[in-house]
Structure 1
Amino acid sequence: MSTDYQQAREALGVRLRELRLTAPAGRLTGVALARLLGWPQPKVSKLENGRQTATPEDLRAWADGTGQPDAYDELLARLRGFESHIRSWRRQLASGHKPVQDTHLAAHADASTFRGWEPAMVFGILQTPDYARSILTRYAELQQSPRDTEEAVRSRMKRQEALYDPGKHFHLILWEAALRALVCPPSVLAAQLDRLSGAIGLDTVELGIIPLSASLKIPPATAFWIYDDSRVIVETWHSELWIEDEPSVATHLRTWRTLRESAVYGNDAHKVISAARRALNGS
């Protein structure tokens, strides 16, 4: 979980504690408030210490239970402020790409079902070291961030161990354009396409490809990941968005399912990859 996100959650917890301690009818203990709300006592502690994300219903109950219902709007605004959290690349990359890769490694460890859409390049979880090296080098140049490319590549390769974990499942969709983008030397892309073909045989991976000739219901826009159908991660040029509010997650799920309708799988996906490989060789 992002440091900024956690800090915002802890700040909300501090505010919740203030409301409990300043209840108009008299200071409430955590045990007393939990009893009043019909909650297990650990829930009060977790919310106040930023170890659990409150729901709007939790905040309403807390405001009413502490005798300060007018505080609900403020609490809800705080929650909405970090449910869709912006993490700027400038701040994230201050120490290089490895810390970012490590953050995603931790997020992967906590989830079991992944849905991804990528229109421009091969997913990091399926990249070869040379392809990843090219991508990370170019992004470091763009963001003018410290060069720790080899450490970042190793962290990205470490994440790929999840592909062989039977408890995890990856439902991935690529646009064919991602197979043809020369964001690396042709020889590196050739090896990457071979790697991609091999991924189709993994029992933890469902890889769909949308051909350039496919009919689309929506434009093939911004890439995103969905973790356990409850968290969305979107990368933009200036920041990374971590989104957890239910309506926004639901929108991304609908988007992913709509894109999936245009994708091909199995042997048909192999044919699209093979065509890109032949085009690369000038055949």
Structure 2
Amino acid sequence: MTSLIPWQQRLSTGTEGIQDEVIRWYQQTRHGKAYVPQMIWGTLQTEAYASVILRKVVDFLDVPDDVAAGVAKRMERQQVLYDGQHHYDVILGEQALYTNVGGPEVMRGQMERLLRDIELPSLTLGILPTTAETSVVPFPGFSMYDGGRAHYELVSSSADITDEDELALHEKAFDALSSTASYGDAAGSLISEAVDFWSRAD
């Protein structure tokens, strides 16, 4: 089963309410997975980076402006990384390290945050190199919650997939991406290169 909900409906009262919903998803999920090819996974975003993202969302969709409240909730959601009760497997596309969100200072701070958090016991962070050859065709990013739901964020709506056969394909796709992603010191090196890039760009 696939359900689609338009963003302007979900954000009709602003960004804070949906952030509360996402907090509940993450609190209820013991093992989550996320593939994010072009930006930083929300649960690893700095306050500055998240502020830019949510500002763009509010302006693009013309929804009520409560960016500060939405960002505060996004920061609250990150507590799941530190409570010892959850684990997240996350693959970022190398492009995510270079997609310019807020300029060099914001990006450098975000890269430094990734370098600090890569060692968290709750996190397995992979970086998919731009030149990596994978066994799957390119597709949008998605998140999975305890294997029971896959979530997509599209231009005009969000989509949730719960069909078991479709979820099995998502697991297969994530495993394929993971097999070619860089982890540990190799991932750290790619992030460090991005820190250097944004430091020079400042």
Q: TM-score range by the shorter chain?
A: over 0.9
1:200 is the counterpart of 2:102:
no
User: Which of the pair is proportionally richer in strand?
Assistant: 2
| Aligned with 2:62 (options 144, 148, 157) | 144
User: Hey, what does 1:92 align to over in structure 2?
Assistant: 10
User: Hey, what does 1:21 align to over in structure 2?
Assistant: none
User: Hey, what does 1:270 align to over in structure 2?
Assistant: 188
TM-score by length of structure 1 reads 0.69
Q: Which runs of structure 2 are paired with 1:1-283 in the superposition (5 Å)?
A: 83-282=1-200
Equivalences, count: 201
TM-score by length of structure 2 reads 0.96
Identity %: 32
State the SS of the aligned residue for 1:207.
strand
- Counterparts of 1:266 and 1:199 in 2: how far apart (Å)? 12
State the SS of the aligned residue for 1:165.
coil
CA RMSD of aligned residues (A): 1.2
User: How far 1:217 sits from its partner (Å)?
Assistant: 2.0
User: Which of the pair is proportionally richer in helix?
Assistant: 1
Query: Relative contact order (C-alpha < 8 Å, sep 6+): which is higher?
Result: 2
- Counterparts of 1:164 and 1:113 in 2: how far apart (Å)? 14
- Counterparts of 2:107 and 2:47 in 1: how far apart (Å)? 11
Which protein is bigger by CA-based radius of gyration? 1
- Structure 1 residues without counterparts, runs of 5 or longer: 1-82
- Counterparts of 1:282 and 1:94 in 2: how far apart (Å)? 40
- Structure 2 residues without counterparts, runs of 5 or longer: none
- Counterparts of 1:117 and 1:90 in 2: how far apart (Å)? 24
Partner amino acid for 1:122? I
- Counterparts of 1:149 and 1:253 in 2: how far apart (Å)? 33
Runs (4+) of structure 1 exceeding 3 A deviation are none
Partner amino acid for 2:184? G
Partner amino acid for 1:194? E
